[in-house]
Structure 1
Amino acid sequence: MSAVSTAQAQFGLGSRLAALSRIVELGPGRVEPALLTEAAQLLLRAGDRLKLSPEHTVVALAGGTGSGKSSLFNAVSGLELSPIGVRRPTTARTHACVWGLDGAAPLLDWLQIQWRHRFARASALDRGEGRLHGLILLDLPDHDSIRALTDPEAHRLIQVADLVVWVLDPQKYADASVHRRYVAELTGHDDVTVFVLNQADRLTPEEQAECVADLEDLLRREGVAHPRVVATSATTGKGIDGLKAVLADSVAARRAAYQRLEADLDRLMARLAKEMPEVLHVEPTVDGARRAGLTDALCDAVGVSALGEAMENVYGVRSVDWVGWPYARWAARLRPDPLSSLRLGGVKDDIRTLVGSSVSAQPAEVDNAVQALGDGLSAGMPEVWQNGVREAARSRSPELSGALSKELAEVAPPLDRVPGWWWLLKIWQYLLVVMFVAGLAWAGSILAYGVFKAGRPPAEILGDVAVLPWVGLMMVSVLGLGLLSAVASRNFVVLGAGKERDRLERDMRRRVGAVAQDMVVTPVERELNRYNEFFGAMAAARR
């Protein structure tokens, strides 16, 4: 394999592993913990392996007791390196034979191969063995021995080896423990798995062909699409060169490590995809219509309209003291005032209490508004992500009512504020009162001095009977002008009250919208982005 193609393979695998890392980061609460743990372990294993020697290929010989695995190890290495038991033919510890030691030590340390079980072949000096330069051949403990049941070493090395060679014998090649525990777990690992039918010297050529065909058929049923089966005999040396050729091809390609990690990643992604089927991309932001709908629902829940109406009524009631016709006000004081409780004294406190009670009194409506948003946005998502969006929408529900109450309590207007035109109109009304009283006094003076001749008037005009009709006309005009001013001012008050209500409701709506954005919309959008990033990473982690 060329340096360029090796770099391309590493880059492609690296980008997929980066995507898997993002899946692990985004998956908690959405993906089965066991799958996330497996993914994290794969990332750790891949990170370690890719940092170690790319010039070496780790090949593990795995097999059951009596399969001749250690004999095959010695036959491939050409030395008696792994002990072969007589009474109990089992391998207790992993042995390693290395063709080319430069750079191999850190890799062997990572594999946890003990120093006394490491052996080297100076392949450059061995005729015909140079093609195996870069091979690290491991003889694993027997997977079905008594020791192996309590020692995870064989299982651990099977999981991390670049290439696994399963050594089977003619009597137990269909052993269920091998197929159930290992072969079925390596589905999709065709490129990094080799099966050796050892002890072929015990079979006739016809029996060997039949066993190989039967083994291949069995492996295909187990999910190995293109099984590679090599028949060997460690005793006679038959098939050893063929096995070496397979190992040499893998070593020369310098790609087995990447293929193994890619196969592990493919299998993991297939399981993830089965649990979490991909769906369409969703809009990561809450649209304006839904924002407005949420704000409307929350405004209804906290009684914004009712509060605005109350403010409008208070505004109108207070204006009577300033812009109403004084004579009408004085007359009203002679009878009980049913609106006295709305006068300035405690109105502001009453309004603040109204705001607080409106929020706390409608928690169910607040919850319904939030739930409606979550349900609408999560439609069509996988159930676990639907629940995630709903949980995000409700994540700050315990604080929401209190936050709305606090915000709206601050909106209560300064009810002691008096518009400037109220002052001017009040001065005008009292000026008319003074003019009416002056006219009344003038008319009384004319009646006293001009009609009843009570004496000499201080001034001629105060006793001139001819002026009396004009004085009466002036008084009627003053009364009419006062009444017209009162009516006009009331119309202006109504318009002002409406504007005050609109301003108040806009301010309250703005504050409700800000609270909804911070406590509902932002967590929901964060979850929607998490959803898109997760499935984007799922797509990137696939081939």
Structure 2
Amino acid sequence: MSGVMEGARRLLRRGDRLEERVAGLGEAVEHGRGRLDDGLLDRAEAVTRRAGARLQLSGGHTVVALAGATGSGKSSTFNALVGLDIAATGVRRPTTSKAAACVWGEDPGSELLDWLEVPARHRVQRDSLLDDRTPRRGEPVLDGLVLLDLPDHDSTEVAHHLEVERLVGLTDLMVWVLDPQKYADAALHRRFLAPLASHREVMLVVLNHVDQVAPERREAVLDDVRRLLALDGLEGVPVLATSARTGEGIPELRAAVAGRVADKATARARLAGDVGDAATALQRESGDAEPRELRDRDRRELHDALADAAGVPVVVDAVARATTVRGRQATGWPVTSWLARFKPDPLRRLHLDRGTRGGDLVVAARSSLPAPGQVQHARVETTVRALGDQVGRDLAPPWQRAVRRASVSRFDDLDDRLDRVATTTDLGVGDLPLWCRGIRGLQWVLLLTALVGGVWLGVLAVFSYLRLPEPGTPEVQGFALPTLLLVGGVAAGLVVALLARVLVGIAARSRARKADKRLRAGVVEVADDLVVAPVRAELAAHRSVHDGLRAALR
């Protein structure tokens, strides 16, 4: 395929409309592989190769092929057009399955005839070998004509059938030579004429042996030939009456061929018809729906489902509660905080905490979280398939299948990748904020203050109990200093603890939001890599095929 596309791109750089059409068809073939019918793609690829090769060959030659059944006088017509007895006729016709060729002009067209696979011994250069280059007065100039005499299409030799079918697909102008007795042959119309309905501009039909038809019946026979051609979709194709034996109609046929040779557009018209046929067949398969993009709302439900399957809500809740517990232990009144250490830590309960640093906290995270249940698996699978169905809803069936297949193409990798998200994401719960350390220091100062006041009061109580002279006790506005130290230290510690609870709650919610954001970012990356990217690749291929076919059908 790379060779086809490279050739098509080279043609595209030339800027010609036909070359752009060929390049567009090549683009559609390249991106339709694995998605559209292989038979249609193979035929379109053959057209692309053939058109690319023909456009790079001699543009000064027009290949005209005479095709007909046994006894139609095809070879006699060939000799009449050439002006010499070159092709063997009747019982002298060779059994070879190869065509004969006659080339007009100085250029022998060797490269073109090599491409047509016409053997060298079957080639004749009309002007260089047979006569001078000065045409008789009134005779049309045929320089650039490559005239082929094809094997009989109804021959009993299979090789003859294959050669005719091959060259019918390569020639620029087809001249079908019919016999008055066999022009209605169903095999001819079914196998050759009807399939070429889109090539009516590069076709001529010749009713030969017209000398064997009574003059008063000739027009009726010609009308019947036109009627059958119209049934084949070839209405308007010129029908000429000739007799190779008497020469009747041969000048008109030669003039018609010369006109096609002179305008140099026949080869391109034939290729345009081939490209149009192939592109039309592919468009019927691919559909004409406009390409669409994957929108954010298409992805949002997928992200939520994968986040649930990865246990993100469970981990986020554990982060919030663990931050709360640890913050209260750090900022609460030291006595109650010490007792609170006996309460289980939410992260440790889930075995998510293996150290004090964020990197250590997640080493064993996924192995300790509950495995996703059947409900979560079912939701993930349903959501993934729904994404493919939603995105491909308006596309043709082949693209719907391709998008759906792409959406689940890496479904088996989802569990492992989601595990990795949980085990490699830093939850950010390693160290407490610096202000917690400040409050902890303040709490210890307040506790020491209360202890000093308590001890002081204890000493005074002992002195009073032993009826010893009490030392002087300082007072502050009528209150004993030891009492103020004890009561004030305890009260201030409790107030600070209550205020710290508010700050710890704020910090817990903040850390939970950050952990949720980090985990969901990892889930989004997994979803985009395993689900969204394959779907986008199919949509991109659909766009390329759509744009390529639109260019090919212009």
Deviation at 1:402, TM superposition (A): 2.2
Contact 1:63–1:166 (CA under 8 A) maintained in structure 2: yes
Of 138-147 and 428-437, more deviation after overlay is shown by: 428-437
Aligned to 2:99: 94
Aligned to 1:106: 111
Contact 1:355–1:409 (CA under 8 A) maintained in structure 2: yes
Aligned to 2:422: 408
For the pair 1:261 / 2:271, whether they are aligned, the reply is yes
Contact 2:87–2:93 (CA under 8 A) maintained in structure 1: no
Contact 1:302–1:358 (CA under 8 A) maintained in structure 2: no
User: Following the alignment from structure 2 to structure 1, what is the Cα–Cα distance between the partners of residues 440 and 45?
Assistant: 79
Q: Percentage identity across aligned positions? A: 37
For the pair 1:165 / 2:175, whether they are aligned, the reply is yes
Aligned to 1:35: 40
User: Following the alignment from structure 1 to structure 2, what is the Cα–Cα distance between the partners of residues 327 and 93?
Assistant: 107
Deviation at 1:322, TM superposition (A): 2.0
For the pair 1:56 / 2:61, whether they are aligned, the reply is yes
Deviations 1:72-121 (A, max 9, x none): 11122121111123387977542222221415222222222222222232
Summarize the Cα distance change of 1:330–1:220 in structure 2 as closer, same or farther, 3 Å threshold.
closer
User: Following the alignment from structure 2 to structure 1, what is the Cα–Cα distance between the partners of residues 351 and 94?
Assistant: 98
SS at match of 1:227: coil
The match for 2:406 among 389, 392, 399 is 392
Aligned to 1:6: none
* Structure 1 residue identity aligned to 2:154: D
Aligned to 1:231: 241
Aligned to 1:431: 445
For the pair 1:187 / 2:187, whether they are aligned, the reply is no
Contact 2:153–2:160 (CA under 8 A) maintained in structure 1: no
Contact 2:27–2:545 (CA under 8 A) maintained in structure 1: yes
Deviation at 1:37, TM superposition (A): 0.9
Q: Superposition pairs for residues 208-247 of structure 1, below 5 Å?
A: 208-247=218-257
SS at match of 1:400: helix
For the pair 1:501 / 2:506, whether they are aligned, the reply is no
For the pair 1:348 / 2:348, whether they are aligned, the reply is no
For the pair 1:486 / 2:497, whether they are aligned, the reply is yes
SS at match of 1:267: helix
Aligned to 1:4: none
Deviations 1:219-269 (A, max 9, x none): 101111212111111111111111111111111111111111112122222
Deviations 1:12-44 (A, max 9, x none): 211110111111111112221111111111112
Deviations 1:401-455 (A, max 9, x none): 32232223223436452332222222222223322222222222222223531x4
Summarize the Cα distance change of 1:87–1:248 in structure 2 as closer, same or farther, 3 Å threshold.
closer
SS at match of 2:472: helix
Deviations 1:319-353 (A, max 9, x none): 343222233345668xxx45268669955148654
Deviation at 1:473, TM superposition (A): 4.7
Contact 2:87–2:149 (CA under 8 A) maintained in structure 1: yes
Summarize the Cα distance change of 1:379–1:456 in structure 2 as closer, same or farther, 3 Å threshold.
same
SS at match of 1:133: coil
For the pair 1:311 / 2:316, whether they are aligned, the reply is no
SS at match of 1:226: coil
Which runs of 5 or more residues in structure 2 are unaligned?
Answer: 1-13, 355-360
* Structure 1 residue identity aligned to 2:245: T
Q: Superposition pairs for residues 445-456 of structure 1, below 5 Å?
A: 445-453=459-467, 455=468
Contact 1:167–1:195 (CA under 8 A) maintained in structure 2: yes
Deviations 1:336-375 (A, max 9, x none): x452686699551486545454675544333333333323
User: Following the alignment from structure 1 to structure 2, what is the Cα–Cα distance between the partners of residues 80 and 127?
Assistant: 19
User: Following the alignment from structure 1 to structure 2, what is the Cα–Cα distance between the partners of residues 131 and 342?
Assistant: 95
User: Following the alignment from structure 1 to structure 2, what is the Cα–Cα distance between the partners of residues 180 and 415?
Assistant: 78
Deviations 1:464-491 (A, max 9, x none): 9x99965345423322222222222222
SS at match of 1:441: helix
Deviations 1:114-146 (A, max 9, x none): 222222322623425452222221111111112
TM-score by length of structure 1 reads: 0.88
Aligned to 2:482: 471
The match for 1:78 among 39, 60, 83 is 83
Root mean square deviation, CA, Å: 3.0
Aligned to 2:391: 377
Of 227-236 and 437-446, more deviation after overlay is shown by: 437-446
Contact 2:362–2:427 (CA under 8 A) maintained in structure 1: no
SS at match of 1:434: helix
* Structure 1 residue identity aligned to 2:110: A
Aligned to 2:133: 124
User: Following the alignment from structure 1 to structure 2, what is the Cα–Cα distance between the partners of residues 10 and 428?
Assistant: 81
Summarize the Cα distance change of 1:146–1:289 in structure 2 as closer, same or farther, 3 Å threshold.
closer
User: Following the alignment from structure 2 to structure 1, what is the Cα–Cα distance between the partners of residues 55 and 340?
Assistant: 94
Contact 2:279–2:553 (CA under 8 A) maintained in structure 1: yes
Summarize the Cα distance change of 1:172–1:482 in structure 2 as closer, same or farther, 3 Å threshold.
same
Summarize the Cα distance change of 1:174–1:23 in structure 2 as closer, same or farther, 3 Å threshold.
same
User: Following the alignment from structure 1 to structure 2, what is the Cα–Cα distance between the partners of residues 408 and 332?
Assistant: 29
Summarize the Cα distance change of 1:345–1:105 in structure 2 as closer, same or farther, 3 Å threshold.
closer
Of 531-540 and 510-519, more deviation after overlay is shown by: 510-519
Deviation at 1:388, TM superposition (A): 2.2
User: Following the alignment from structure 2 to structure 1, what is the Cα–Cα distance between the partners of residues 212 and 281?
Assistant: 41
For the pair 1:521 / 2:532, whether they are aligned, the reply is yes
User: Following the alignment from structure 1 to structure 2, what is the Cα–Cα distance between the partners of residues 399 and 345?
Assistant: 25
Summarize the Cα distance change of 1:111–1:343 in structure 2 as closer, same or farther, 3 Å threshold.
closer
The match for 1:19 among 18, 24, 27 is 24
User: Following the alignment from structure 1 to structure 2, what is the Cα–Cα distance between the partners of residues 191 and 295?
Assistant: 57
